[in-house]
Chain A
Amino acid sequence: MAAELALLEGTLGLRNGTKYGAQGERQIPVLQTNNGPGLTGLITIAAHLVKQAKKEQLLGSTAEEKAVVQQWLEYRVTRVDRCSSKEDTRTILKDLNTHLEDKVYLAGNSFTLADILMYYGLHHVMVDLTVQEKEKYLNVSRWFNHIQHYPGVRQQLSNVVFIKNRLYTNAH
C-alpha cells in the first residue's frame, strides 16, 4: 500500500518521495510528519496528500459528495482489500458494476480520490480478468479504462487492455 501512496504522490504532482513505514501484518502505511505522531492508514494519508497538493476538490466539493467519496474510500479498504476468494471478488465487481451503471465516476459526475484509489486497488484484479469477464462487468471495465487513461493516474502500472468491440454479444 505504500507503493500505492507513491503512485498517488505522482498523480497529485507532489514530489515528496516520502518513505512510508508499514505497520502490522497487513502492512498498513504510516506517514511520519514533522508535528505529531504521524498518520496511519491508506485513506487517511491519501486524503492528507490531497490536501497537501491543494486539490481538495478530489475529496468532493459538496457535503454530499464528500460523504460519497468517503464511503467509497472505506469500501476500498474494507471490502476490496479484504477479498480473499474469487467469490468475494465477483461480489465486489458485481456491486461496482451496478453502482457504475449510471455514473461516470464513483461519486457521480466528478473525478475524485475514490476513483484513484479504487483504480489502484482493483488493478491486480482487472489484469487477471478474461475478456469475457471484462464484458460481463462492462460498467466497471468502462470506468476502469477511463480512469487508467485519466491524465497522470496510471503512473507505472501496466495498461489493462479492453477490447473495443464486444465479442460475447449475448453476455448478460
Chain B
Amino acid sequence: MKVSLFITCLSDAFYPNVGESMVRLLARYGVRLDFPPVQTCCGQPAYNSGYWDDARKTAATIIEAFDESDFVISPSGSCTGMIHHYPKLFEHDPVMRVKAEQLQAKSYEFTQFLVHVLGVTDVGATFPHKVTYHPSCHGSRLLGVKDEPLALMQQVKDMELVPLPFAEDCCGFGGTFAVKMANISGAMVTEKADHVLESEAEVLVGLDMACLMNIAGNLRYRNKPVRVMHLAELLYEGVERA
C-alpha cells in the first residue's frame, strides 16, 4: 500500500513543519508516507490565470510523480482541488485524461484521509489554547471538507474552539489575484484579520498554507501576536504535549 505525500510547493519551500507534522502524525498510525521527489507544483497559478499550456506542463509532473501511488495526501484543499481540474485540463488528451481521473480518485486532503480512511478523529492531542478556525474556500466549498476538521478539533483536550465571525468569507489570497488586484485583496485580508482579532483567539488554524500565509502576513504587518498554524501542526504539537 503506497501512501504518498503531495507536499505542495508552498509547504515544501516555506512551511516544512507542516509536512513534517503530517509524516510524524501518520507514522503513529502505521502509515509510512512515501515522498516522490520529482513532484513540484500543482500548476494552479497558471491554470487560474488562463495559461493552460503552462499548467499542463506542471500538472504532468504531478501526475507522473504519483503514478504508482495508492493514496495521495496533501496539506492543502486548494492544491488537491486543483487535481480535480486535471481531467478538464487534459480533456482533449485521452491518455492523460484517464491518468488525471485516476489521480483525482486517489487524492485526499489531509483531514479527509485521517477521518475517512484511517477512521481517526481523536489523535490524543492536548492543546490548552483559545483557537479559531478559518475554513479555506477551495477545501470547504469545492472539496466539501467541512465536518472533518471540526471532528478532529472537537477531540483535542483543553482546547477552546471559538467561532470566527464570517468564517466562510475568502481571505483575499486568490493566488495571482493578490498581486494583480492588490488593493481589493488587501481590503479582504484586512477584513479577515479583523474578524480573527474579534474572535479573541490566540491561535488561528486552517488547512491551507496559502490562505494562512496571507492572513498571518496581515496580522504580522499590524503587529498582532496571533499564532497561525496548519491543523496538522496543531495536532502533532498537541500529541507531543499530551
The answer on A and B forming one complex is no
User: What is B's interface to A at a CB cutoff of 8 Å?
Assistant: none
